[in-house]
Amino acid sequence: MNTRWKAVYYSEQDGSIPVKRFVDSLSLREQAKTLAFIGLLEEKGPNLPRPYADLLEDGIHELRIKLKGAQIRILYFFCYQNIIVLTNAFDKHSDKVPAQQIKLAKDNRKDFLHRFLENDIREKIL
């Protein structure tokens, strides 16, 4: 039996949702492509290969999306058996993912796991 993964957006303590805000700022066509990539991530989970996804460090992964020449990255982590938490998103302008973006993803992961227990997440998404 294949595991069905569920992507959830990380929400900050003030209720803002960074990845959703980023996706909403894109054109409708770009939003559709980005959401299709998120759907592919939900379908494949950790088995989504390059060039679509890659492991960065310490359990932080990147979803790699190309939009009209721009390189978009959505950072995420896996938790609670089948949950994918999308932590932050940005336009990538250099060869490497900026260290501050990886640190932000790690900080968001720590905050998420501190604030939300597995049952809290399951109640919200199921």
Residue 82 CA to residue 3 CA, distance in Å, equals 7
Helix ranges (DSSP H) in the chain: 18-24, 28-44, 99-115, 118-125
Residue 34 tokens read as 């980005």
pLDDT of residue 9: 95
User: Does a structural domain hold residue 1?
Assistant: no
Q: Tell me which residue range forms the domain holding 24.
A: 6-125
Residue 106 CA to residue 121 CA, distance in Å, equals 19
Tell me the pLDDT tens digit for each residue of 9-68: 999 999 999 999 999 999 999 999 999 999 999 999 999 999 999 999 999 999 999 998
User: Does a structural domain hold residue 68?
Assistant: yes
User: Does a structural domain hold residue 36?
Assistant: yes
Tell me the pLDDT tens digit for each residue of 71-97: 999 999 999 889 999 999 999 999 999
Number of structural domains the chain divides into: 1
Token match 């990538």: residue? 92
Residue 90 tokens read as 């940005």
Q: Is the whole-model pTM more than 0.85?
A: yes
User: Does a structural domain hold residue 43?
Assistant: yes
Query: Which three-class secondary structure state does DSSP give residue 124?
Result: helix
User: Which residues, listed in sequence order, are joined to residue 8 by a DSSP beta bridge?
Assistant: 85
pLDDT of residue 119: 80
